[in-house]
Structure 1
Amino acid sequence: MPAPRVIETRGGRLEYAAAGEGPAVLCLHGGMGGYDQGLLLGAAAVGDGFSVVAPSRAGYLGTPLATGPSPEQQADVCVDLLDALGMADAAVVAISGGGPCALQFALRHRERCRGLVMISACSARLEIRLPWQYHLMRLVAHVPALAAAFGRYAMKNPERALVRSLPAPEARARLLADPEAAALWLALQATIGNRLGDRMPGTDNDTARFRAAAGWPLEAIAVPVLAVHGTADRIVAFSHAEQLAARVPGAELLAIPGGEHVCLFAHRSDIRARAAAFLARTTP
C-alpha cells in the first residue's frame, strides 16, 4: 500500500495517499476509516486504469479534526488536494460516511467534479439506531493494545467477522468465492485495529453531524450520479439511495437485492462493472 503524504490546505494539514495512473478518482472513506480504506475502496470499486486519490477526512489518522469538521469544509479541502496534485477535476467515489463530503464537492465545486458514485453512502439524515459494535469500538479505542488484539482476532477468524457484516450465508459464500473480494475484505479487517484511536474523532464527528443533519439540496446537484446500495443495509438505510436517485436529475440507481452495508465486497464484480461503465461516460 502506498505510504501517505501530508499537504497544507486552507483548512490545515491533510493526509492522503495516491495510487495508479489514469483519470483522477477521489475516493472518500466512511466511518472508522482513513486513507488506507480509501485506497481499498478504489481497488474494490474501480480497479485499474485510474489515478486513485484517497484523503484521510478530518479527524481520521493524520488529518486533524480542525482541518474540516463539516462536509462543506471537507469538500473545499478536497479541491486544495486536487490543486496540489495538478488535477483539473476528478470523479468521486464515496462509501458510507464519505457521502456528505461527496455531495458538497458536487454542490460547491461543480467545475471540478466529473460525477459521483455513491456506494452504501449517507445522503440524508442518519436516523437508524447506532449498532452496538459502534459503542464497543469507542470503548476499545481508548486501549490501543486491545484495539490491536481485536484486529488480530478478526484476521485469524475472518469468517466469524464476516458473519457480523453478512449474516446471510449466500452473501458470505459469494464474497469468499471471489478471491479478489476476499483479499480486499481481509485487508479492510486488518485496518480496523490499526490506530483505532486516531480514527474515532472523525467517526464521532461524522455520526453526530449526520444524525443532526437537516438534509442537503440534492435537486441542485448538476453532475452525473450513480447510487449503489443494498436493500437490506442496516447501517445506512436503502432509502438514502432511493431519495438520491429520485431527487438528483438524471441519477442512476443500482439496487442490490438483499445487500448489506458491505455489499461492495459481496457484489464486487457487478458493482465494479457498473461503476467502470459510469466513470467511462464521465471521462472526456
Structure 2
Amino acid sequence: MRKSLQAAALAIGVSVPLLYVADMRRAYKRLEEYGASKFRSEFGMMAYADEGWGEAILISHGIFGGYDQGMASLKGMVGENHRKIALSRFGYPGSKLPAQPTPQNQARVFAELLDELNIEKTFILATSAGGAAALSFALTYPERTKGLVLVSSGVPSNKMPPGQLKPAGPPIPLLSEFPMWLSTKSLRPVFNVFFGSDVDKVFFQTMLPVKPRRKGIEADANITNLDMDLNYEKYPVEDIKAPILVIHAKDDPMALFDNIEKFIGRTHPETVIFESGGHLLSGHQTEVSAAIQQFIQKNA
C-alpha cells in the first residue's frame, strides 16, 4: 500500500509540471494566434484585435482580460456580425501601463484608436471592470458614441472617501502563472461561486497566461475599480447623450445589482435584467445576443 502511494505521488509529481508547461505553451500560442495589431498612443504602444465589418463595436474588457478576452466576449455576444474591436486596456497583453492609468486616460486611447482605424463613431460595450473607461468615453466623446452597452458592468455607486476603499482585485497568488493555472484545474467550483456563474472553458483560457496581464490586473485592483466611487463627480452618468442598454443579473456577486438599480434610476436606459445567471450571465447567451443585436440595429 505504501509503495503504491509513493508511486502515485511520484507520477503526480512528474505529470503536473509537464502538464503545466504544455498548457502554458498553448496559452501563449492562443494569445499570438489573435494576430493583434499595435499602434502608438500618447500613452505608449497599445495592442488590439480587429475583425469583421459593418457597424463598429469597441469593447472595454474586464479584469484578467486583454484583446483575446475582449474578442472572445464580442464573438460570444454578436457572433460574426459587425466590426469587432478589442483593445487591451492599460497593462494588459501588448499595451503599455502608463504612469496614470486612469479610466479617463483609457477613454482617450479609445478615441485615438478610432482615429487610427478611421472610424468616426462606434458602439462601446463594457464588461465588469471595463465599465469605468466606457462610461468615461461616452461622457467625453458623445459625438463618437452611437450607443453604450453595459454587460455585467461596474457603475458608480456612492462617493466614498479614500480611507474606506480597499484594493478590489484577486488574491496575490493568482497573479502568478502556476497558482492561477493550478486553480483553473482544481478549483473550478470555487471560481463558479466567486462569479456566481458556471465558468466555461473559453473564459478560463483567456485568463492565461497571467504574466502579460499582471500589470493591468494590479492597475484595475488599485485604480480602475476604485475610481467611480473615489472620483464619483467625474461620472455624471445622467449627462450621457447616447442610448444605453444595460444587461445584468440580479444575483451578480461582483457587480452588485443595487448599484445597477441606482444607475438605471439616473439614466433610464433600455434594460435586460435576469433573476439569475451571475456575473457571466450563465444560461442567457441567446437572450443577451438578441438584445445587443436589436439595440445596434435600432441605433445604427
Pick the aligned partner of 2:266 from 247, 250, 272: 247
Q: Distance in 2 between matches of 1:105 and 1:72?
A: 7
Deviation at 1:8, TM superposition (A): 0.6
Aligned partner (choices 189, 195, 208) of residue 193 of structure 1: 208
Q: Which of 123, 126, 131 lines up with 1:99 in the alignment?
A: 131
Question: Which residue pairs with 2:180 in the alignment?
Answer: 147
1:9 aligns with 2:63: no
**Contact conserved, 1:118 with 1:226, CA < 8 A, in 2?**
yes
Secondary structure at 1:57's aligned position in 2?
coil
Whether 1:223 aligns to 2:250 is no
Structure 2 SS opposite 1:262:
coil
Give the direction of change, closer, same or farther, for the CA distance of 1:164–1:103 in structure 2 (3 Å limit): closer
2:75 matched to which residue of 1? 43
Q: Distance in 1 between matches of 2:75 and 2:41?
A: 26
Shift of 1:223: 0.4
Note closer, same or farther for the CA distance 1:202–1:59 as it changes in structure 2 (3 Å cut): farther
Three-state SS of the structure 1 residue aligned to 2:130 is: helix
8 A Cα contact 2:196 2:252, kept in partner? no
Residue aligned with 1:120, SS: strand
- What pairs with 1:54-203 in structure 2 (closer than 5 Å)? 54-66=86-98, 69-125=101-157, 134-136=169-171, 138-141=172-175, 143-151=176-184, 153=185, 161-162=191-192, 164-166=194-196, 172=198, 185-196=200-211, 197-203=214-220
Q: Which runs of 4+ in 1 moved over 6 A?
A: 126-132
Aligned partner (choices 219, 223, 231) of residue 213 of structure 1: 231
Question: Structure 1 188/130 Cα, relative in aligned 2: closer, same or farther at 3 Å?
Answer: farther
The change in CA–CA distance for 1:123 and 1:166 in structure 2 (over 3 A counts) is closer
**Normalised TM-score (structure 1):** 0.82
Q: Deviations over 1:26-75 (max 9, x none)?
A: 01101121111111221122222211100111122222221761111111
Quick one: distance in 2 between partners of 1:58 and 1:68?
Answer: 10
Task: Name the CA distance, whole Å, in 1 between partners of 2:91 and 2:41.
Answer: 15
**Is the contact between residue 72 and residue 105 of structure 1 (CA under 8 Å) also seen in structure 2?**
yes
Match of 2:240, as an amino acid?
A: I
Q: Matches of 1:67 and 1:27 in 2, distance apart? A: 23
CA RMSD of aligned residues (A): 2.6
Which structure 2 residue ranges, 5 or more long, are not aligned?
A: 1-32
For residues 212-259 of structure 1, give each alpha carbon's deviation from its aligned partner in whole angstroms, at most 9, with x where no partner exists: 2325101110000001111111111112322222212x5112111123
Give the structure-2-normalised TM-score.
Answer: 0.78
Contact 1:12 1:66 in 2 (8 A): yes
Task: Identify if the C-alpha distance between structure 1 residues 67 and 18 changes in structure 2 by more than 3 Å, giving closer, same or farther.
Answer: farther
Q: Following the alignment from structure 1 to structure 2, what is the Cα–Cα distance between the partners of residues 25 and 236?
A: 22
Identify the residue that residue 260 of structure 1 maps to in structure 2.
Answer: 278
Cα distance in 2 between the residues matched to 1:251 and 1:77: 26
CA distance in structure 2 between the partners assigned to 1:27 and 1:10 by the alignment: 20
Unaligned runs of 5+ in 1: 173-181
Q: Which has the larger radius of gyration?
A: 2
Distance 1:236 1:160 in 2: 18
How far apart, CA to CA, are the structure 2 residues paired with 1:148 and 1:58? 23
Share of identical aligned residues, percent?
26
Amino acid corresponding to residue 71 of structure 1 in structure 2: P
Q: Name the stretch that deviates more: 188-197 or 78-87.
A: 188-197
Q: Deviations over 1:85-120 (max 9, x none)?
A: 111111011101111111111111111110001011
Aligned amino acid, residue 245 of structure 2: L
Match in the other structure for 2:22: none
1:238 paired with 2:257, answer yes
What displacement does 1:160 show?
6.8
Residues 149 and 193 in structure 1, CA contact (< 8 A), matched pair in contact too:
no
| Cα offset, 1:76, TM superposition | 1.0
Evaluate the alpha carbon distance shift between residue 217 and residue 120 of structure 1 in structure 2; reply closer, same or farther with a 3 A threshold.
Answer: same
Return the letter of the residue paired with 1:119: V
Cα distance in 2, alignment partners of residues 148 and 198 from structure 1 = 18
Task: Please give the alpha-carbon distance, in whole angstroms, between the structure 1 residues aligned to 2:69 and 2:100.
Answer: 19
